[in-house]
Structure 1
Amino acid sequence: MTPRPAPAEFDDWAALLALLQASFAYMAGRIDPPSSLHRLDAAALRDKARDEHLWIAGPPLLGCAFFRNDRDALYIGKLAIHPDAQGRGLGRAFVAGAEGMARRLGLPCLRLQTRVELTGNHAAFAAMGFVRVAETCHAGFDRPTSMTMEKPLGNG
């Protein structure tokens, strides 16, 4: 199964929300503050897809990611693989899709954020060529809660 841009007629926002919820469920109780996913609903995802590039893998819907052009990088957000499909290379395939898009746009790198508590994610992204470039704090916190990672592409 190969990730691809969601077709223009995509409208299964409830299934997309369910995929994200299932994929991010393991974070409950592990990250503080809780994921921003809890503030999203199907309508918010539809709106997000209007402003960003939604990529999906399926049917059935087993993975998704949102790609956003930030002028100096292609930002990868809400990368999610259904728990039943993890370990099959879908995450790497989404990153490869983002890399191709960034190269076409002439952007020098990919960028993403991951929570400091999710050390397994840090290792997985590092294995794909991402390096930590910054740490950030969510509002109200006096310690780093997220890290920014980038993958240089040699563009630009």
Structure 2
Amino acid sequence: MRLAGESDLAAVERLVHDAYTPWIEVIGTRPLPLESDYAALIAAGRVHVTSGFDRLEGLIVLVPEDGVLLVDNVAVHPDLHGKGIGRALLAYAEEEARRLGLPALRLYTNVKMAANIALYESLGYVRTGQANLEGRSAYLMRKPLSP
């Protein structure tokens, strides 16, 4: 795992496109991660990537907030689903939260992304509410970390 650099921008955007485009049909609109400014997120040191032999395999966007680390985006290349990359990215987020002295993680996910919701719940995230985010219905989820 490493921070994405400026030279990773095209690969990051391609990975996000490949990971989220299949969800457009499911949720009926473009998922929010397709709208993000990855040049700005990379410049701010928010994008962490994992790569294989010839491409980025996954990424996670982490944003420290007051008392919590926001998992703003988790993307895994579609060819690599089911290989544990998403779980590894979320475990990395827990390590980062602890390193930053933050006692919890939070994230949001579209209510129609059942596979993602099931993954998050299996990892200890709990639904804390529901919100309308830019015209999209999302579950708010949180995971407290043990000290």
CA contact (8 A) 2:9 2:42 kept: no
Counterpart secondary structure, 1:11: helix
**Matching residue of 1:51:** 44
Give the ranges of 4+ consecutive aligned residues of structure 1 lying more than 4 Å apart after TM superposition.
Answer: none
Amino acid at match of 2:2: P
Instruction: Confirm or deny: 8 A CA contact 1:129 1:151 kept in the other structure.
Output: yes
Whole-angstrom CA distance in 1 between matches of 2:46 and 2:35: 20
CA contact (8 A) 2:6 2:39 kept: no
Q: Number of paired residues?
A: 145
Q: Deviations over 1:62-111 (max 9, x none)?
A: 10011110121111122100011111111111111110111111111111
**Structure 2 portions without partners, runs of 5+:** none
- Structure of higher RCO (CA pairs closer than 8 Å, 6+ residues apart): 1
Answer yes or no: is the 8 Å Cα contact 2:60–2:73 preserved in 1. Answer: yes
Q: Give the structure with higher Rg (CA).
A: 1
In the aligned structure 1, how far is the partner of 2:34 from the partner of 2:124? 29
What amino acid is aligned across from residue 142 of structure 2 in structure 1?
E
Match of 1:20 among 16, 25, 30: 16
Q: Identify if the C-alpha distance between structure 1 residues 112 and 52 changes in structure 2 by more than 3 Å, giving closer, same or farther.
A: farther
Residue 5 (str. 1) matches residue 5 (str. 2): no
Q: CA RMSD in A?
A: 1.8
- Taking only the aligned residue pairs, the percentage that are identical comes to 28
Deviation at 1:53, TM superposition (A): 2.3
**TM-score for both structures, normalised by structure 1:** 0.84
Q: Which runs of 5+ in 1 are unaligned?
A: none
Instruction: Specify the alignment match of 1:147 in structure 2.
Output: 139
Greater fraction strand: 2
Assess if the C-alpha contact under 8 Å between 1:64 and 1:81 holds in 2.
yes
Q: Could you report, residue by residue, the CA deviation over 1:20-60 in whole angstroms, capped at 9, with x for unpaired residues?
A: 011112211221442224434xxx21211223421111132
